[in-house]
Amino acid sequence: MLPVRPLALRAIFRSLVLGSLGVPLVACGGQVGGDHVGNDGGNDTKESPKDADVPDACVTSPISSTAGPCDVIVEYYACAVPGVHTGVSIPGATCTSLCGFDSGYVNCYATNAESDPHVVLHCTTCVTGRRPAGYVLEVGDGSQELGAVFARIAELEAASIDAFAILERELVLHGAPTALVASARRSRREEIQHARAMRRVAKRFGGSPRIPKVAPRPPRDLRALALDNAIEGCIREAFGALVATHQAMTAKDETIRVEMARIAEDETRHAAFSLALAAWLDGVMDDSARAEVDAARRRALTELEREVDAPVAPALVALAGFPDRAASLRLFTGLREALLAS
């Protein structure tokens, strides 16, 4: 039986923060994978094969850059970034430079083979929270200064307002149970309060929160809705609630600690809502759709693991209570084990 009760989920998250891993939890239906992509320490490089698209003289600037929801995809000629390919761990400072950000809090990984003439980098600047379809990331906010980080969080919280508003309308359209519709509506109202709170914190530290840009999209079918909920709700929202719990328990700044305590409680309830929604969707979809959702869930876990495997500024850890790199990976491992437990 899925632990969709917020109180039960809150106890699990607190125990994970305290280091008690392996709490039984089956979430979002099906088996969830997410093998860690190993680091082969690959410093050896092979000469990239020439083709008609590779210039005689190496061009070191990006070939292309495409912004998406909380990520940027950047393409280089392989000669400009030797040794970068799938399976190679890329230092945070290198990611920041190659991805085109001003400073830290950028994680990246390559998806090209070692012999490919082009290097394709996937760069991420945010880790948690339910992002709406159509959310447009604006590049250039990679700073780890407290004000900049909380400004980015405030923007993501505001984007979540749209995510739950869209979800509420779609649930009504698909005839979902009234309890799920009501949960989406309540979550939207809570995200309004979260965005206001994070804006206050951001401004206190000199940040300037932006209004999120969300492009209009037509209503999604049940399969697309289930895919979004599995990734944004069952995984990212759950990890966001876990991080908020960590902040509420460890932040040295009293204002941040108090605000995150309230947000952690709400976000845990949102994660529980995602689990309940996943259970309903699993019951109304066919086998093909369920298999597609399961595969997407496995990929999302792998991607999240890459995202949390990034350096965090000491001030964010001490003052704001963010988990550092090692703690983030431990929290992720605990959450994944909980999701996998039967």
Asked, for residue 180, whether it belongs to a domain, the answer is yes
* pLDDT tens digit at each of 342 positions of the chain: 335 677 788 888 888 887 633 333 334 444 333 333 333 333 333 333 334 454 556 878 888 776 544 557 788 888 888 888 766 667 666 777 787 765 444 556 777 777 888 888 877 655 556 777 777 655 544 456 888 889 889 988 999 999 999 999 999 999 999 999 999 999 999 999 999 999 999 999 998 888 888 888 899 999 999 999 998 899 989 999 999 999 999 999 999 999 999 999 999 999 999 999 999 999 999 999 999 998 888 888 887 887 787 777 888 899 999 998 889 899 999 888 877 664
Rounded Cα distance between 102 and 142, Å, is 6
Asked, for residue 29, whether it belongs to a domain, the answer is yes
Q: Domain range spanning residue 298?
A: 6-36+143-340
Q: How many other C-beta atoms can be found within 10 angstroms of the C-beta atom of residue 143?
A: 21
Asked, for residue 252, whether it belongs to a domain, the answer is yes
Asked, for residue 262, whether it belongs to a domain, the answer is yes
Asked, for residue 261, whether it belongs to a domain, the answer is yes
Question: 0.85 cut: is pTM over it?
Answer: no
Asked, for residue 173, whether it belongs to a domain, the answer is yes
Number of domains in the chain: 1
> What's the pLDDT tens digit per position in 31-53?
333 333 333 333 333 333 334 45
Which residue intervals of 65-208 are DSSP H helices? 92-99, 146-173, 178-204
Asked, for residue 66, whether it belongs to a domain, the answer is no
3-state secondary structure of 310: coil
8 Å CB contact between 259 and 193: no
Asked, for residue 313, whether it belongs to a domain, the answer is yes
